[in-house]
Structures are given as structure tokens and as C-alpha cells.
Amino acid sequence: MSAPIIWILLPFVSGALILLLLGEKYAAYIGGGIAAFLAMIALFVPIDTALLIGSVSIKIAPAIQVFGRSFELVTADGPLLAVLYGLAALWLFGTEASGTAHRFVSLGLMIVALLTASIAVEPFLYAALLLEIAAMLVVPLLVPLYQKPGKGVVRFIIYQTFAMPFILFSGWMLAGVEASPGNLSTTIQSGVMLSMGFAFLFGVFPLYNWIPQLMEEASPYAAGFLLWALPTFTVIFSLGFLDRYTWLRNTSQIANAIFYSGVIMTATSGIFGALQRHLGRILGYAAIAETGLLLTAIALKTPDMVSIVFLTLIPRGLELSVWALALSIIKRRAYPLRFSDIQGMARKYPIAVGAIFFAHLSIAGFPLLAGFPSRLALWQELSLQSLSASLWVFIGLLGLLISALRTLAAFVMAKEDTKWEMNESPIQTVMLGIGMAGLLVLGMFPQSLQPIISNLPALFQHLNQ
């Protein structure tokens, strides 16, 4: 058995089978179980290393050939696969509580499989095509058949489609730059092409305008999954570029472009987020701010850059899943999630409201929550690099904090005689409770991530130098 078959083909086929064969009832458990099982294998069974169990020797081969090109997952990919499939399992188990199980689980598994293929494919530039196919698979999750598609989803697919040609073409040009590094015009052209491609993929300012629109139109859980999955794999893809091409790392213009894109994204989304009156849009702006932080972290000139990126990336999955799940629970009673619709909800859905508040504070970098350790590490390096950029990032995070307080104020705005109720189902309560506990544990004991994070920099050997 080879690694790409286990972590790409198996979840993809499972997703298709769940769509065709299984009903709503078991889909979440089986899909979540498969993802959790794959995470466990990635964690405990090393790739390309013989394991002796009794008299049986097991070895997972690292690569397979498809049409003359290879899909390869090496030993160093193990911890990354464990993290990605672990977080995917969290999202898939959550579908049961959010009430979106059947289609979400099957498409979710297929999307994660395709995104994993984007990490594995060689030459790695072809990942742009796989990211595009994965983005197309997300659309049925965002637009159910009974709902007219809005502008947000159309813009999303246009921007993702535009990214693909830019990245593929820039990849071809980058090879030319490597062959003749002195050719300045080719270097500039390929740099611009690459920047455009990633600007579309990440949704750099002002190309993120589809995210708040989409959060207003679509199911919060499906849109939250999209905001977790695509940027996560795009970050890994972009780290691959920086790792592979030395001149990209050493060109100060490109490093500055990434750095200031991240700072501007964080600052603008924080400020816009503070002015919103729709809970979905607030979640959208918070996700944009966090993507901005990831870009800022990628541009840091420190050997710890990869560790800081993954320290931000891992809690992001938990924060977004908890927030999106809680929103989807509240949306059933407070459609369309404007402040005027959610007044007093804290007394009807205390757990869901608490979960939203916890996740929101965590993304804003509030102490003792999961987002805090990564923000602390980021601040430390950022302050050495640029104090003005630190100030703008601070303004962005302050904006998120203000929007958290405004949201809380709207939630608790109930009449005095309103009784406290708990309308969440037991499964919803358990899922949200586990999520909130996770946010606290990762905040108070960040060293619990250390065994995983310490191995991840091995994936990008040149970036640690």
C-alpha cells in the first residue's frame, strides 16, 4: 500500500460512496471516523519505514505514478497529514450537530483528499489545478439546490479560477529564472505572476470582498469549512514555493509584498469587522484577519517562521469549526443573523453563544485562549522587524476584539424577565463543550502542540536556515 492511496484515494472514494450509499444518520460518524483513522495512521505509522508487527512487516510506500507524474508523501509529511485529517475529522463530526451531515461529509472528504493531493503532486506546481478542482467541489456545499446562488459564490469561483493560470504560468517562468538568474525582466514578470496568483488564492485586500458576501448567503458551517480548508492548504503550497526557489526567499521586494499584504489584510479586516452588524460577516472578517496574520508570519525573517505559521494554522481549524458550528445552531432561530435578530439569544442558547465568544476572542488573540501563543510569538518577531506594522496588526486585532464585545452586547440584550433556557441538543452541547475546552487547553498549555509542531519544519528544509 502506498501513502497517496491511503491519504488521497481512500478518502476520495469513501466520500463518493458515502454520497451514494449512506443516509443522513450515519454519514457524520463514518466520515468523521475515516478522517480520524487516517489522522491516527499518519501519527503512528511512519511513511517509507518498515514496521515489524509480530512476524509481519508493514511498509507504506511513499509514491505512486499517475500519467508519468508522481504523487509523493514522504516521512516528514506524517505529522502534517495527522494535523490536517485530525482537523478534518473535527469538522466532519461537527456536521451531525450542525444538521448538514450527508452532502457535507461526502464532499468534505473528497475536498480534503484533493487538497492532500495538492501537497503530494510532483511537480508541485500542478497543485494549482487540484486547488481549483477542490474549490469547485466546495460550491455545492455553499449553495443548496433550493437556494439561488448569490454574488459571493460567483466571485469566489471567478477568483479561484483566475489564480490557477497565474500560478501555472509563473511556475514555468520560475524555472527560467532559476536557469538564468541574471535575467531581471523574467524575474520581475514571474514575481508579478506569482503574486497575482496567490493574491487571488488568499483573497488579499481588496480581493477578499467575496468572503463577507458569502458568509451572508451561505450556511455558516459550510462557508467556515471553506475558510479553513483552502487557506490552510494554500499556506502549505506557498511555503513550498518559498522553500523551493531560493531567489524568492532572498528578494526583498517579494518578502515586503507578502509582509505588507498580510498587515493590510489584518488591519482592514479588523476595522471592517468592528463595523459589521451581521454575525456571518464578522466571522468572515475574522477569518480574513487570520489569513493576514499567516501572510505576515510567512514573511518574517526568522528561522522560527515555519513553527509560527503552524502554531497559527492549527488552532485556526479549531476556532473556525467551533465558531461556525455555534453560528449554524443559532441561525436556525435567528435568521439572517443580524444584531437585531440575535438580541437575547444568550438566554436561549448559552452554550452556543459562549462558544462564539470564546472562538472570537481566541482569533483576536485574547490571553489563555488557543490563538494567544501564536500571536505572542508573532508580536515578538514582528516588533523586531517593524514597529509600524506591529501597530497596524494591533489595530486589526483590536477591531476584532471590539466586534466580539459588540456581538456579546447584542446577545445579552434580553428583557429582564426572560428565563434562561438551554435549547442546544445534547450532541451540540458536547461538540461545543469539547471545542471550548480545546481552545482553553491550547491556550493554557501550548506545549501540548510541541510534539507535532517540532517535526513540521522538516517539510521545508531551506526555510529553517
Please report, as ranges, the residues that interact with other proteins according to CB under 8 A. Answer: 24, 66-69, 126, 129-130, 132-133, 136, 139-140, 143-149, 151, 153-154, 157-158, 161-162, 164-165, 168-169, 172, 185-186, 189
Q: Considering beta carbons, is residue 164 or 370 the nearer one to other proteins?
A: 164
Q: Considering beta carbons, is residue 154 or 434 the nearer one to other proteins?
A: 154
Measured from the CB of residue 154, what is the shortest distance to other proteins in angstroms? 6
The answer for residues whose C-beta is within 8 angstroms of residue 49's C-beta and 6 or more apart is 59, 75
- Cα–Cα distance measured from residue 233 to residue 269, given in angstroms and rounded to the nearest whole number: 21
- Alpha helices, DSSP H only, in 332-459? 339-342, 350-363, 371-385, 387-411, 426-444, 450-453
Looking at residue 64, the DSSP 8-state letter turns out to be: E
Measured from the CB of residue 189, what is the shortest distance to other proteins in angstroms? 8
Measured from the CB of residue 174, what is the shortest distance to other proteins in angstroms? 12
Q: Determine how β-strand 51-53 pairs with β-strand 56-58.
A: antiparallel
Measured from the CB of residue 158, what is the shortest distance to other proteins in angstroms? 6
Measured from the CB of residue 132, what is the shortest distance to other proteins in angstroms? 6
The answer for residues whose C-beta is within 8 angstroms of residue 250's C-beta and 6 or more apart is none
Q: Considering beta carbons, is residue 67 or 420 the nearer one to other proteins?
A: 67
Measured from the CB of residue 45, what is the shortest distance to other proteins in angstroms? 28
Q: Considering beta carbons, is residue 146 or 420 the nearer one to other proteins?
A: 146
Q: Considering beta carbons, is residue 96 or 319 the nearer one to other proteins?
A: 96
Q: Considering beta carbons, is residue 6 or 143 the nearer one to other proteins?
A: 143
Q: Considering beta carbons, is residue 151 or 462 the nearer one to other proteins?
A: 151
> Rg for the chain (alpha carbons), in Å?
21
Indicate the residue type of 74: V
Place of cell 505576515: 296
Measured from the CB of residue 332, what is the shortest distance to other proteins in angstroms? 11
The C-alpha cell that represents 41 in the structure block:
495512521
Q: Is the dihedral of CA 224, 226, 227, 233 positive or negative?
A: positive
- Cα–Cα distance measured from residue 181 to residue 175, given in angstroms and rounded to the nearest whole number: 10
Measured from the CB of residue 161, what is the shortest distance to other proteins in angstroms? 5
Distance linking the first and last C-alpha atoms of the chain = 34
- Cα–Cα distance measured from residue 280 to residue 337, given in angstroms and rounded to the nearest whole number: 7
CA-based nearest residue to 317, from 132, 95, 158, 85? 85
Q: Considering beta carbons, is residue 181 or 367 the nearer one to other proteins?
A: 181
